Each structure stands twice: as structure tokens, then as C-alpha cells.
Amino acid sequence: MGLRRIILLNVVALLVILGLIYGGYTYYYNRENFVTTNNAFVEGPEYPVNVQFAGDLTAWNVKEGDTVQAGQALGKVDPRIELGQLGQAAKDPNVAAAVNRAAEIDSPTGGTITRVNATVGQMAAPGQPLAYVVDLNHLYVTANINETDVRNVDVGDAVDIHIDAYPDQTFKGTVTSIGRATNSLFSLLPAAGTASGTYTKVTQTVPVRIDLSGYGGVHLVPGMSATVQIHRSNT
């Protein structure tokens, strides 16, 4: 075996060793200083658009993605209530005006229209959202943290956020609340094994809210996937 080949093998072996050392150190450093998860997504305050009285939807003026102002007329419903049913009260102009106002469907707040369920001609009923309004100026991230790591997270912790739609950009955030129950407690599906009377132990997750800061000019929308790196509070 030539000297050159021996030197090359030694260099390769050294590089492998250095790589293992660096990888081990990086893993240890991140484990000791951060709580990381890719089980996270962007959310925003969401407000339903409802009607006051049941009736047929006679007009709908907006579509998904439109920006609206608080109190803006979004549509109109023909209330299934006749003024004659109100008896003498129907003669009061204030009552008649109130019924007419109830026919208007107004935006509950300013924001962006999302998840439109409205179709002109359909029957609309109170409690049945016709659409939702989201305030895109106050978005936050919900991160589902393993129960084994949540003890290392405190309100006020700084967070580095990587959103899949912008892989080359790091967003900043702050932990503002930590869930008081695991996600499985509110799941529609029963926990593993509960139906048979046995219990299969699995690691649970706790929702942690992280408020975003400084994302003006970036098109973020609820539902975007994210990876978060929370600076551990016990270091």
C-alpha cells in the first residue's frame, strides 16, 4: 500500500471521526438548549359569520380571500318571520327596522374571508356559519410538544420558527400559553385501548401557543406547516 493511499485513508478516517464528534455535539447542544418539534402549524383568531334569524340566503357579496371591515354587509337573508306575526308590535317602525336590519349579514370583525359555506338560495340558520373571518395581522403558531418536553417550556420563552412555505427564512416568536390538557383528551377518537378496557401507553402532546412577531409583508395563512425551536427555560 502506497504512502499516498495511507495518508488518504487517514484523512478520510479523521474526517469521519470529526463528523461524528460534530454531529454528537450538535445533537447534545440542541437537546440541552432547545425543545424542537415539526408538529406545528400557523393559526389565527377566527370569527364565524352567522345570521340572526333563519331564512333563505338571497344575496352573498364576498368570496374567499376578500378583505372586509367590521360591520361590512356580506350578504342578506329573507327572514322566515312575517311582520304580521308580530301583531301590534309590527306597527312600531323601530320593530320593522330591526327586522330589516336582522336580514343583513354583517362581518363580525375586520379581516380576511376564509372557508365560505354560503350559496345564494340555501337555507341559513342561526349557529350555522356561512363563512369565517380571520385576522391575518395577528397570527400565531400552535406547536404540539411531547409531554416529556413540556416541563422545559415556560411562557415568555423565545422561539425560532421555520415555516415550510418560506424555508430560507426564520421567524421569531414568544410562548404565550401552554395547554392544560393533552390533545388526546379532546380527540374525537378514543385513546388507544380504551374500548377494550386496556391502555396502550403512548407519548401525549400538549398544545403550546407561540405568538409571531415581525412577519409584515410575508404572506402567511392559517394551516401552514411549521417547525419550532423553543429556547429551553431551564438552561
Whole-structure pTM value:
0.70
pLDDT band at 143 (very low <50, low <70, confident <90, very high): very high
Phi and psi based region of residue 115 (left: phi greater than 0; alpha: psi -120 to 50; beta: remaining): left
The verdict on 115 and 151 lying in the same domain is no
Spatial contact of 226 and 162, defined as CB atoms under 8 Å apart: yes
- Asked which of 134, 151, 171 is the last residue of a domain, the reply is 134
Indicate if 130 and 50 belong to the same structural domain: yes
Burial class (CB within 10 angstroms; exposed 0-12, middle 13-18, buried 19+) of 143: buried
CATH of the domain at 153: 2.40.30.170
Pick the closest to residue 76 from 110, 43, 102 (CA basis).
102
pLDDT of residue 83: 52
pLDDT category, 122, cuts 50, 70, 90? Answer: very high
Give the whole-angstrom CA distance, residue 131 versus residue 122: 14
Q: Do 124 and 159 lie in a common domain?
A: no
Q: Band of the pLDDT at 2, cuts 50, 70, 90?
A: confident
User: Which tens digits make up the pLDDT trace of 32-88?
Assistant: 677 899 999 999 989 999 998 888 899 999 999 999 999 999 999 987 665 555 555
pLDDT, average across residues 132-142: 92
In this prediction, residues 201-230 reach a mean pLDDT of 89
User: Is the domain of 94 the same as that of 162?
Assistant: no
Pair 73, 127 in one domain: yes
Residue type at 189? Answer: L
